[in-house]
Amino acid sequence: MNSPMEDRLRDALVSAGATVEPETLTPLRTPDRHRRFRVDLRLVAVAAAVAGVAMFLMLRPTHHDAPVLAAGMVPVNWSEGEPEISVFLCKPDSPFPACADDVRPDRGAIEQALRARPEVKSVVYEDQQVNYERFRQSQVGRDGKLLQAVTVDDMPDAFRLRMRQGTDWSAAMAAASELDGVSRVINQVCAAKRAELFEIIKEKIFGPDDEVCMTP
């Protein structure tokens, strides 16, 4: 049986007029030790692509066997002058390996480390509410079903980085991903290029070339 959030995302996909039939998307399962948390990653990838957003996913345990999928969405409508790199922080009960043992982000230490990188021009912190408002803006003029499926609590806190041109962004991303309390690092410029429906499904954010859109 699908969780309420999966049902709402499925409705959002259908309402958005996707060419892929939702019934053809079979749920993917997590490794055995997380077997009780089932998540249809392909459904979310398609729904995210249709909505024009990149996805940041986490599994949120519940008191029941039915899984709950929390999808913190970040816009990929990147334009010149906007922060190029997003550094997402761990949330309670995050399934990402970097967030094991319920690690709590030290925001000050993370910001200091990011500012110390020679590739980084500026750093801005955005909390859950700011990211939710960003997501809401990305949904203006759309069906609204996806917006109804996502709440403020589903959003991660993040640092947005402006990068210096001519520097090695991948080195900065790798260093950021190794900081305690960091769950994912996304190159928004790269992600924006690959936000087309079938590219997200096929490549899962990673493209066939050497450019890395997301770490780890």
Q: What is the pLDDT of residues 34-71, one digit of tens each?
A: 443 344 444 444 444 444 444 544 433 333 333 333 34
Residue 106, pLDDT > 80, answer: yes
CA 172 to chain centre: 19
pLDDT of residue 204: 53
Strands (E) across 38-174 are located at: 38-39, 53-60, 68-75, 85-89, 120-126, 158-163
For 140-166, what is the mean pLDDT?
A: 83
Domains of the chain plus CATH, in order, are: 4-204 (3.30.70.3040)
pLDDT band for position 124 (50/70/90)?
Answer: very high
pTM of the complete model = 0.64
Comparing 33 with 153, the larger pLDDT belongs to: 153
Q: Of the candidates 81, 56, 52, 53, which has an alpha carbon nearest to the alpha carbon of residue 69?
A: 56
> Which whole-number Å values give the CA distances from 25 to 18, 178, 188, in the listed order?
12, 33, 27
